[in-house]
Amino acid sequence: IMHLALARVLGVVSGRDAVVFGTVMLGRMGAGDGGERALGMFINTLPLRVDVGEQGVRAGVKATHERLTTLLNHEHASLALAQRCSGVAAPTPLFSAMLNYRHSAATDMAAVIEVAEGIQVLGAEERTNYPLTVNVDDLGEDFALTVMVDASIGAQRVAGYLHTALHSLAEALEQRPDMPLCGLNILPDTERHHLLHRLNQSPTHYSDTALIHAQVEAHAAAQPNAIALRFDTQRITYRQLNERANQVAHRLLAEGIRPDDRVAICVERGPEMIIGLLGILKAGAGYVPIDPAYPLERIAYTLADSAPVAVLVQADTQHLVGDLTRIDLNSLRAESIVNPRVALSPAHLAYVIYTSGSTGLPKGVMIEHRHVARLFTATEHWFGFNANDVWALFHSFAFDFSVWEIWGALMHGGQLLIVPQLVSRSPDECYALICDAGVSILNQTPSAFRQLIAAQSAQAHSLRQVIFGGEALEPGMLKPWYARAINAGTQLVNMYGITETTVHVTYRALEAADAQLVGVSPIGVRIPDLQLYVLDARREPLPMGVVGELYVGGAGVARGYLNRDQLNAERFLADPATGLRMYKTGDLGRLLADGSVEYLGRNDDQVKIRGFRIELGEIEATLASANGVRDAVVIAREDEPGDKRLVAYVIAERELGAAELRDHLLLSLAEYMVPSAFVLLDQFPLTTNGKLDRKALPAPDADALARRDYAAPQGAVESTIAGIWQSLLKLDNVGRDDNFFELG
């Protein structure tokens, strides 16, 4: 019973269904009569493996008893011998926890004195060589537990887990002997309540009653001549923005648009894009953003799945949307400029943004007005956004970071600087634009900001806040930023978030000392009107410091996925504290003592690269459909610190080149989802369990890149550019016909 209780505690804190720990053997069991009276130290410590998974409690007790009984036959075997037999190479220890079951207290020496007359006991002291040691003293009518563990963990805390596990085990044996061992609770009621309720209390209610477009209309009335949008040399005031959006809305209403309908928008980056989004909201519909740079197959799927009533287009994009009802944004000058009156509530649809899907198909996430409204009211005390702020729209409007950028600016009466696509890809030009335009609020993925740091010149900027999102932040990359005095007035913030919970979930204000952190990604505390849980596979709360899956509940949880009832049932679940809905993120993390959370990566094959959330399964499925491909695996590699990239591994049935595979993927996947290298293998490496060994997949070489036939650079300029590319991409040579992005 004691061994099984400790095993359950270790299973919870390690996330495993089978654990190994040491157990102390008396060493006298095989000595026969009188063995207990022999003088000397005979005890021995040996490893014990205990299963605490799906098997029943009664069966688990029996199995543990049988293993302990079997172990008695080896009570004199050395631990070194056990190590050699285990396959676990020294110096890695076989175990780091130990249980010592004693039939009397360690300080009770009366029995020893009776055996050896004339021997005087001067004192006794307990020591351990293991990070965790549990001593169980069998006192006859009851037991005494002694826990020795690092002070940062707390012996009293571990003892509490053991006590609860023992109580749960005894209760299960009496009432539910067939319940699975993994269902035994180890958390005391007070700690469970603390994790589920006290840590997730909201001190106040944050308003979610505003309609997004109503906020913009209010600013248009209060400051009609204030600049709302900037793009190249264009300036659009709030009055102009509001009136042109009204024209869009009236045209949509004439087409029969009703609340909760969906209207797609496929336009190039510029003021018309924002005008179209606002007009759709004013008409009562939810917008479905479609980046015209996406492959035709992806655009076609998004349109078919979202089934929009109409599509807003421009002359250059109307050919992308097929036979749907098309409305040209530049042909609406005759429409009314008066605010339309549409009966809407905050629970009506605001937008549907498509994210990568594990089945090979993207999925549309439905977000309502109230979700966006509360995002800004619940974070206002941290940021203090106002009408003096200049925001930069850096990201595609089909990426949910744009929701924060666009409506963060316009719902607060600020300016939105629309960064041209080519400028967004040039760190030097981007930094110059940020400085020249007086940008005060910048939102970046860590990958993009790393490049911006490298491009930073002596030109002064006006950045008040830089907010990271989209992918995990490695704080060490910020050292050069903090080293420059010019950046002292800028607050850097790291925010963890997901599309299904309305952009952001947590907040962490960064400081220079954070740049010294290694191997951690601090994401801070939850937004106050959200609940953030760290749960195990059975959706039970885990102790503080233990790694588990992150679940998000509260006011930001999306309506769900469009047309995906089964997936909704799998990902949007009942909140264990409130009974309302929460979202299963697939991300790993752990709660820290201060109530903040440390992000520890994905729990599945989904990754984030340069801010884009990518389902590796979607790429693999598309790659496997290529003619001549027998099998394919895609992983995210980081062979150089900070340079995470997608690499595909292919088993081919015929001769295939990287360029052919890349071209196939580009037919249906966005460019950011296309691997930078393609490695051809005869077979995939496997683990001893027969599973794919991803860690053994080789690093790509130059042959894995989508290279053109080599033609030497001509002239000084081409040679210089080729040299820069070689240095950046770690290549031996670059030809004049090579493409920088195809090379990785």
- Of 570, 604, 638, which residue sits at a domain end? 604
Residue found by looking up tokens 């993994």 in the block: 182
Question: CATH number for the domain including 594?
Answer: 2.30.38.10
> How far apart are alpha carbons 318 and 298 in whole angstroms?
16
Q: Tell me whether residue 207 is in a domain.
A: no
> How far apart are alpha carbons 601 and 606 in whole angstroms?
9
CA angle, 97 as apex, 95 and 102 as ends, to 5°?
A: 120
Per-residue pLDDT of 128-153, as tens digits, reads 788 999 999 888 888 889 999 988 88
Same domain flag for 598 and 613: no
> How far apart are alpha carbons 377 and 362 in whole angstroms?
30
Per-residue pLDDT of 301-341, as tens digits, reads 999 999 999 999 999 999 999 899 999 999 999 999 999 99
Nearest residue to 674 (alpha-carbon basis) of 363, 356, 320: 356
Same domain flag for 614 and 600: no
> How far apart are alpha carbons 413 and 376 in whole angstroms?
13
Per-residue pLDDT of 14-69, as tens digits, reads 988 999 999 998 766 665 566 666 666 667 888 999 999 999 999 999 999 999 99
Number of domains the chain contains? 5
14 close to 50: Cβ distance less than 8 angstroms:
no
Same domain flag for 386 and 513: yes
> How far apart are alpha carbons 509 and 500 in whole angstroms?
23
Q: Tell me whether residue 725 is in a domain.
A: no
Backbone angles phi, psi at 308, to 5 degrees: -70, 150
281 CB contacts (<8 Å, ≥6 apart)?
211, 212, 213, 287, 350, 369
Nearest residue to 336 (alpha-carbon basis) of 263, 228, 244: 244
pLDDT at 10: 96
> How far apart are alpha carbons 129 and 675 in whole angstroms?
48
The gap between the terminal CA atoms of the chain, to the nearest Å, is 57
Cα 486 to Cα 446, 462, 463, 646, distances in angstroms: 20, 10, 10, 35
Q: Is the pLDDT of residue 655 over 70?
A: yes
Beta strand spans in 307-389 (E): 310-313, 326-328, 349-355, 363-368
- Of 370, 397, 418, which residue sits at a domain end? 370
> pLDDT grade, residue 688 (50/70/90)?
very low
Same domain flag for 476 and 570: no
Q: What one-character DSSP code corresponds to residue 516? A: G
pLDDT at 669: 85
> How far apart are alpha carbons 619 and 610 in whole angstroms?
16
491 close to 509: Cβ distance less than 8 angstroms:
yes
Same domain flag for 163 and 38: yes
- Of 316, 347, 370, which residue sits at a domain end? 370
Q: Tell me whether residue 196 is in a domain.
A: no
> How far apart are alpha carbons 629 and 621 in whole angstroms?
11
- 238-254 and 271-282 helices cross at what angle (nearest 10)? 50
Residue found by looking up tokens 């009802």 in the block: 325
| Residue 344: alpha-carbon gap to chain centroid | 34
Per-residue pLDDT of 253-289, as tens digits, reads 999 999 999 999 999 999 999 999 999 999 999 999 9
Cα 86 to Cα 4, 79, 682, 700, 733, distances in angstroms: 22, 10, 32, 35, 49
pLDDT at 744: 57
Q: Is the pLDDT of residue 108 over 60?
A: no
541 close to 550: Cβ distance less than 8 angstroms:
no
Give the number of residues written for the chain: 744
pLDDT at 683: 82
pLDDT average, residue stretch 675-689: 78
| Segment (H or E) for 247 | helix 238-254
Same domain flag for 548 and 596: yes
pLDDT at 127: 75
675 close to 647: Cβ distance less than 8 angstroms:
yes
Question: CATH number for the domain including 467?
Answer: 3.40.50.12780
Same domain flag for 269 and 295: yes
Could you tell me how many helices (H) and strands (E) the chain has, helices first? 21, 31
Same domain flag for 534 and 637: no
Same domain flag for 500 and 421: yes
pLDDT at 690: 44
With b for 16 or more beta-carbon neighbours within 10 A and e for fewer, the 337-362 pattern comes to eebbebebebebbbbbbbbbbbebbb
Range of the domain at 637: 609-706
pLDDT at 440: 98
Using DSSP, state whether 303 is helix, strand or coil.
helix
Question: CATH number for the domain including 626?
Answer: 3.30.300.30
- 212-222 and 369-377 helices cross at what angle (nearest 10)? 60
| Segment (H or E) for 311 | strand 310-313
Alpha-helix runs per DSSP H in 128-211: 155-175, 189-196
Using DSSP, state whether 734 is helix, strand or coil.
coil
pLDDT at 81: 87
The residues that bridge with 602 in the sheet, in sequence order, are 587
Q: Tell me whether residue 739 is in a domain.
A: no
Backbone angles phi, psi at 417, to 5 degrees: -90, 115
| Residue 31: alpha-carbon gap to chain centroid | 57
pLDDT average, residue stretch 679-706: 74
Q: What one-character DSSP code corresponds to residue 56? A: B
pLDDT average, residue stretch 158-170: 96
Per-residue pLDDT of 484-499, as tens digits, reads 999 999 999 999 999 9
Q: Tell me whether residue 201 is in a domain.
A: no
Show the tokens assigned to 504: 């952001």
Q: Tell me whether residue 427 is in a domain.
A: yes
> How far apart are alpha carbons 523 and 505 in whole angstroms?
9
> pLDDT grade, residue 75 (50/70/90)?
confident
Backbone angles phi, psi at 414, to 5 degrees: -90, -175
Q: Is the pLDDT of residue 194 over 80?
A: yes
Whole-number mean pLDDT of the chain?
Answer: 89
pLDDT at 305: 97
Q: Is the pLDDT of residue 109 over 70?
A: no
Between 503 and 708, name the one with better pLDDT. 503
421 close to 292: Cβ distance less than 8 angstroms:
no
138 CB contacts (<8 Å, ≥6 apart)?
101, 102, 103, 104
505 close to 556: Cβ distance less than 8 angstroms:
yes
Q: Is the pLDDT of residue 514 over 90?
A: yes
Between 691 and 456, name the one with better pLDDT. 456
Using DSSP, state whether 549 is helix, strand or coil.
strand
347 close to 372: Cβ distance less than 8 angstroms:
no
CA angle, 161 as apex, 157 and 165 as ends, to 5°?
A: 170
Same domain flag for 222 and 134: no
> How far apart are alpha carbons 248 and 283 in whole angstroms?
8
pLDDT at 140: 82
The residues that bridge with 101 in the sheet, in sequence order, are 136
| Segment (H or E) for 509 | strand 506-509
- Report the percentage of the chain scoring pLDDT > 70: 90
Q: Is the pLDDT of residue 424 over 60?
A: yes
Q: Tell me whether residue 193 is in a domain.
A: no
pLDDT at 284: 98
pLDDT at 442: 98
**Residue 25 half-sphere exposure toward CB, CA atoms < 13 A:** 23
Q: What one-character DSSP code corresponds to residue 228? A: E
Between 78 and 743, name the one with better pLDDT. 78
> pLDDT grade, residue 689 (50/70/90)?
very low
Same domain flag for 143 and 156: yes
Q: Is the pLDDT of residue 102 over 60?
A: yes
Q: According to the 3-state scheme, what is the secondary structure of 111-160?
A: HHHHHCCCCCCCCCCCCCCCCEEEEEEECCCCEEEEEEECCCCCHHHHHH
> pLDDT grade, residue 291 (50/70/90)?
very high
Q: Is the pLDDT of residue 677 over 50?
A: yes
Per-residue pLDDT of 532-561, as tens digits, reads 999 999 999 999 999 999 999 999 999 999
Q: Tell me whether residue 232 is in a domain.
A: no
271 close to 228: Cβ distance less than 8 angstroms:
no
Return the percent helix, strand and coil in the chain, to nearest 5: 35, 25, 40
Same domain flag for 512 and 553: no
